[in-house]
Homo-oligomer: A and B are copies of this chain.
Amino acid sequence: MRRQAVIDMGSNSFRLVVYGHEKGSWWALIDEIREPVRVSEGMGRESELKPEPMDRAVRTAAVFAAFCEASGIEEVDAVATSAIREASNRAELLEAISEQTGLEVRVISGEEEARYGWLAMANSTTVDDGYGVEIGGGSAQLVRIRGRQLTDACSLPLGSVRLSEAFLPDEKAPGKARKAVRRHVASQLGAVEWWPTKGGRLVGIGGTIRNLAAAASKQLDSPDMDVQGFVLSREALEELIEALADKPASKRGSIPGIKPDRGDVVLGGTIALATMMDEGGFKAIEVSEAGLREGIFFECLLEDAEPPLFGDVRRESVINLAHRYRTDDVHVGHVAKLSLELFDGLGEAGLHKQGNVERELLWAACELHDIGVAIDYDDHHHHSAYLILNSGLPGYSSREQVLIALVARYHRKGDPDASSLGDLAERGDKGRVRLLSGIIRLAEQLERSRDQSVASVDVSAQNGALILRPKVKSGDAGVPIWAARRSADLLAEAVGRKVEIDA
């Protein structure tokens, strides 16, 4: 495993993140330290870093450097953004850090920051044509994406700490002050001629947006999971603004989902986001957990690609998760093959009306159905679902991730229960989970001896029954066929037909 550290010195917090990766197999964030340094505190109009925040910054840099050294991590990329970038006395801070910690900090421009944000968005969502916004502590970055490429980018001084300090310095946030934030943001946006008026797809990244998504998600009846893929509607955002403004600044961090040390500076960025959505005509924003740090990491991970983008984000997410937990590629791949043959055959026989999206969810569940074995063989179907929900699958919506987790959960046993979808459920999801679970359960048994002896399966409907004809590659497939016959009940019930395995 190769390890690479990214140190992100933002206006609100400093973070050290460590990524582990094995080329062509998997990558993951494996370690992280976050410090609410708030280096921009009290910078004011003269843009001068104050002694106390500078001292906190140097100490934190020392923690990070000591950590990397003790852990033997040699690849360390330290970057500084808005607050340090704009500070008149930044040289003083950078020198102190270099002297006391050995870290050479790279101060990136607003355009570079926006580009890394785009890399994070394009590699963690399915956005093809659309827009992106990243709200940081000091600045906010806006991007336009066409055919997954970055076509326009800008960085504006609209970070959450900056706006909150300038416009909402008191415990209360009166309507007048909030309107002033909106006016200020709208006026800055006016200069961004490519920002739309008629909406489109919008992706959001950065700590403020992640916190808002977490807060909105906690209002829903839905499983505990990452906010990766969460869709935050403009209405839900408005409710959050009301809830935040109703509380004094020092209490805003008590709203579930909002980090306590971010509470007093979250409102400025929240109003900025709402204004950007209103001006752009966006009704909702898709949230990604990736950000600047992942952008920097992806540039290294995907160094052989130009630009450094995954070919297929959804596919990559699934394979990455499967490899992280070292599943048996050949076995799960064969379960996927048989499952998709069943899915297609059932569709052709008119026994379901599901489309390509469900087909892909089934594929993903097949690839991931055994990852829970990494936790414990006992109840591994439960553990697989736990891992899927807690690791996140970039490119899939929250609902899709829950559906994949449910199908993995029911691949062995149990009567499929889709109620945990809660507010995420769409019409037909109950039947969807039953059908896909019925398919994977049968396919898993057809590959029970894990030797691919059932090479493929033919599907037809005759006289009201569903006939499955396994094609045996070699040797004796008596075992999987016998096992499959005893695991066909769920599928039979899902398609309303008797299932006969003709072999």
Contact = CB atoms under 8 A, between A and B. Distances in A.
Given A63-B482, A374-B374, A376-B391, 16 more contacts: A28-B376, A29-B377, A29-B378, A31-B373, A33-B448, A59-B479, A62-B478, A66-B449, A66-B453, A66-B476, A70-B450, A71-B450, A375-B386, A375-B391, A383-B390, A386-B386
Contacts of A59: 478-479, 482
Interface string A368-395: 0000011111110001001100110000
A54 to B, nearest CB: 15
Nearest to A486: B35
A451 B69 contact: yes
A300 to B, nearest CB: 18
A383 B30 CA distance: 13
A329 interface: no
A92 interface: no
A449 B479 contact: no
Q: Which of A31, A32, A66, A448 has the most CB of B within 10 A?
A: A66
A71 B387 CA distance: 24
Interface of A: 28-33, 59, 62-63, 66-67, 69-71, 226, 373-379, 383, 386-387, 390-391, 448-451, 453, 476, 478-479, 482-483
A459 to B, nearest CB: 24
Q: Which 10 A-B pairs have the closest CB atoms?
A: A70-B451, A66-B449, A63-B479, A70-B450, A29-B377, A376-B391, A67-B449, A66-B479, A70-B449, A62-B479
B390 A63 contact: no
Contact of A449 (B63, B377, B391): B63
A362 to B, nearest CB: 24
20 contacts: A28-B377, A29-B376, A29-B377, A30-B373, A31-B373, A31-B377, A32-B378, A59-B478, A59-B479, A59-B482, A63-B483, A66-B449, A66-B479, A70-B450, A226-B378, A374-B374, A376-B390, A378-B390, A379-B390, A383-B390
A268 B33 CA distance: 57
A376 B386 CA distance: 11
A69 B379 CA distance: 24
A67 B453 CA distance: 11
Contact of A32 (B377, B453, B479): B377
Contacts of A63: 448-449, 479, 482-483
A226 B67 CA distance: 37
Contacts of A28: 376-377
A29, A62, A70, A451 interface centre (most CB from chain B within 10 Å)? A70
A383 B391 CA distance: 11
Contacts of A71: 450
Nearest to A30: B377
Contacts of A387: 375
User: Which of A29, A375, A448, A476 has most B Cβ within 10 Å?
Assistant: A375
Contacts of A448: 33, 63, 67
Nearest to A475: B66
Contacts of A390: 375-376, 378-379, 383
A497 to B, nearest CB: 25
A29 B387 CA distance: 19
A193 B37 CA distance: 73
A378 B214 CA distance: 14
A448 B35 CA distance: 13
A486 B375 CA distance: 34
A387 B71 CA distance: 24
Contacts of A483: 63
A386 B391 CA distance: 14
Contacts of A476: 62, 66
Nearest to A63: B479
Contacts of A29: 376-378
Contacts of A449: 63, 66-67, 70
A380 to B, nearest CB: 9
A328 to B, nearest CB: 8
B67 A450 contact: yes
A58 B377 CA distance: 25
A471 B59 CA distance: 20
A387 B378 CA distance: 12
